[in-house]
Chain A
Amino acid sequence: MKLGNPFKMIDKETQKMLLGGLVGSLSYYGDLALSEQSWYPAELKGRVIPQLPRNDELLTSIAPPVAMWMIAKKKPKLKDMATGTMLYSGPHLMQRIVVNAVKPVASTSYPMAFPVMVSAPLPAANKIYPQPVPVATPSVPSVAAGKYR
């Protein structure tokens, strides 16, 4: 049984779309690899809203299809690749948004642009959580200090 090249079993249009999808995928995972480096900018690791994906995730999901479409306007041969990038990046961005929206928000994931609000200390006369009243302890006269010494 002769096994041919599986990439040649599909038509040219689909091959180009697969390559376009790989452009989107490799840009996302390439960014994931880079984001673990120490020199990676902290601004890209932040989030606009805690429930949204990180800024670099948004960038690597939106920029490749937009860039591919702009290139495809000048070179129509790359239109199928641009479609493939969109077919990957659109659903992937949706997946990232859903996962981040349902994930419990950690306290460290607040964006740097919005300072974390620090709640004021409770007043002493709090009706909901009243402060415990100190109980007066009866003073026991010491035997040494009494007048019956």
Chain B
Amino acid sequence: MDSSYKNMLIGAFVTGGVDAGLSGYQAMNPDVSSNPLYTVVHPAIPPLNCWIADAGVPLALFALGKVTKKPMFKQMAKGGAIYGFSELLGQTLYRVAVIAQGQTPAASYSIVR
């Protein structure tokens, strides 16, 4: 495995780690939904913690790569973006499908099962 793939894998795991941390905190404290970090803007859109982890972390890695001018961080951002984009798109499609069936989607699909 060459270094670019390694960096992408590290970036994906960093993004997944932040996602796991935020979702794990929510799983430990079920009454945390009043926290602004876990705001649900619209039932068809994933909650704010998913956006912070899946879009915010790759963007932060990309900005770090721009500032430090190291290609390593840009490769990490690419890996994180592949994870985050897939997660956000998959969850949004699922939520839209649930709404289309006349049901209300869960507030968070990270802790639903």
Across the two chains, which residue of chain B brings its CB closest to A93?
B16
A94 near B16: Cβ-Cβ < 8 Å: yes
Q: Please, how many angstroms separate the alpha-carbon atoms of A96 and B20 in the complex?
A: 7
What distance in Å separates the Cβ of B14 from its nearest Cβ neighbour in chain A?
8
Q: Which residues of A contact B39 (CB under 8 A)?
A: none
Contacts A14-B78, A83-B5, A99-B20 given; indicate if A29 touches B27 (C-beta within 8 A).
no
A88 within 8 A of B: yes
What distance in Å separates the Cβ of B79 from its nearest Cβ neighbour in chain A?
6
Does more than half of chain A's interface fall in helix, strand or loop, or is it mixed?
helix
What distance in Å separates the Cβ of A26 from its nearest Cβ neighbour in chain B?
6
B23 near A99: Cβ-Cβ < 8 Å: yes
Q: Please, how many angstroms separate the alpha-carbon atoms of A138 and B15 in the complex?
A: 75
Total CB contacts across the A-B interface at under 8 A: 95
B61 within 8 A of A: no
B24 within 8 A of A: yes
Tally chain B residues at the interface, Cβ within 8 Å: 33
A29 near B94: Cβ-Cβ < 8 Å: yes
Across the two chains, which residue of chain B brings its CB closest to A20?
B82
Interface string of B73-95 (1 = CB under 8 A from A): 00000110011011101110110
Q: Which residues of A contact B19 (CB under 8 A)?
A: 91, 95
Contacts A57-B113, A94-B17, A99-B110 given; indicate if A26 touches B90 (C-beta within 8 A).
yes
Q: Please, how many angstroms separate the alpha-carbon atoms of A17 and B79 in the complex?
A: 9
Across the two chains, which residue of chain A brings its CB closest to B26?
A99
Interface of chain A residues 94 through 116 with chain B (CB within 8 A): 94-95, 98-104
The residues of A with any CB-CB pair to B shorter than 8 Å are 14, 17-18, 20-22, 24-26, 28-29, 32-33, 35, 54, 57, 83-84, 86-88, 90-92, 94-95, 98-104
Q: Please, how many angstroms separate the alpha-carbon atoms of A21 and B91 in the complex?
A: 13
List, sorted by A's number, 5 A–B pairs whose CB atoms are closer than 8 Å. Answer: A21-B83, A87-B79, A91-B16, A95-B19, A95-B110
What distance in Å separates the Cβ of A93 from its nearest Cβ neighbour in chain B?
9
A91 near B17: Cβ-Cβ < 8 Å: yes
Contacts A29-B93, A32-B94, A33-B97 given; indicate if A17 touches B24 (C-beta within 8 A).
no
Across the two chains, which residue of chain A brings its CB closest to B90?
A25
A32 near B93: Cβ-Cβ < 8 Å: no
